[in-house]
Chain A
Amino acid sequence: QVQLIQSGAEVKKPGASVKVSCKVSGNTLTDLSMHWVRQAPGKGLEWMGGFDPFHNEKIYAEKLQGRVTLTEDTNTETAFMELSSLTSEDTAIYYCTIDLFTVMDVWGKGTTVTVSS
């Protein structure tokens, strides 16, 4: 059974960066198409970026271009999402999710990131 285990909640000041981790259990990270989705309080789901297997590249949401970076450590089967130049509008729950058998059918439990001075 594939599980995605996310890192704990973070509190950051405006202008700082945050790095959220997502460890894959039960599969190999390089075999998976992983995405990151966030949800601000009371708002909808926002796709941030992910791996496009057809073009073998990472794609980022235009709105977050230049601020978000997705990386992986294959030794520990862990994916990372780093978001820089944080503002209060980045306060949200951040999820990692994978297309395992269908579409975004496995999700991490989410990591709450709070940006506050």
Chain B
Amino acid sequence: AIQLTQSPSSLSASVGDTVTITCRASQDITSAVAWFQQKPRNVPKVLIYDASRLESGVPSRFSGSGSGTEFTLTISGLQPEDFATYYCQQFKTYPRTFGQGTEVEIK
């Protein structure tokens, strides 16, 4: 199975900051990556798919990039409602796999 490693595991940031989360795959997955946001006691929500395509209704401060084995999620101008845990997921092959998550906390 393809392994996804996210970094960092957690980070502290202030409102207005730009944060970047990295997801590395154990093998080439072209652009078959999605990013999810999960707030406490909530269902995960897809933000980005195909590595860089913004899901409908998601604010444009979220962006994704990368291909092959390295991917990034960037939040430009962090808002109070963005404090959450973020997961990458690969859908290149089955079994699908998730990264371990990155918790974005308020500094």
Residues of A at under 8 Å CB distance from B? 35, 37, 44-47, 49-50, 52, 59-62, 95, 97, 99, 101-105, 107-110
Contact of A45 among B1, B36, B55, B94 (CB under 8 A): B36
Known: A102-B55, A103-B49. Contact between A52 and B43, CB under 8 A? no
Chain B residues near A97: list those with CB within 8 A: 44
Given contacts A47-B89, A103-B34, A109-B43, 6 further A-B contacts (CB under 8 A): A45-B38, A45-B98, A59-B95, A62-B1, A102-B34, A102-B46
Chain B residues near A35: list those with CB within 8 A: 96
Contact of B98 among A46, A62, A108 (CB under 8 A): A46
Chain B residues near A44: list those with CB within 8 A: 85, 87, 98-101
Contact of B101 among A45, A50, A52 (CB under 8 A): A45
Chain A residues near B89: list those with CB within 8 A: 45, 47, 103-104
> Shortest Cβ distance from A83 into chain B, in angstroms?
16
Interface residues on chain B, size class: 20 to 34
Chain A residues near B85: list those with CB within 8 A: 44
Known: A44-B87, A45-B87, A109-B43. Contact between A104 and B98, CB under 8 A? no
Q: Is the CB of B87 within 8 A of A47?
A: no
Chain B residues near A45: list those with CB within 8 A: 36, 38, 44, 87, 89, 98, 101
For residue A109, which residue of chain B has the nearest CB? B43
Q: Is the CB of B43 within 8 A of A105?
A: no
> Shortest Cβ distance from B66 into chain A, in angstroms?
15
Q: Map CB proximity to A onto B76-107 as digits: 1 under 8 Å, 0 otherwise.
A: 00000000010101010011111111000000
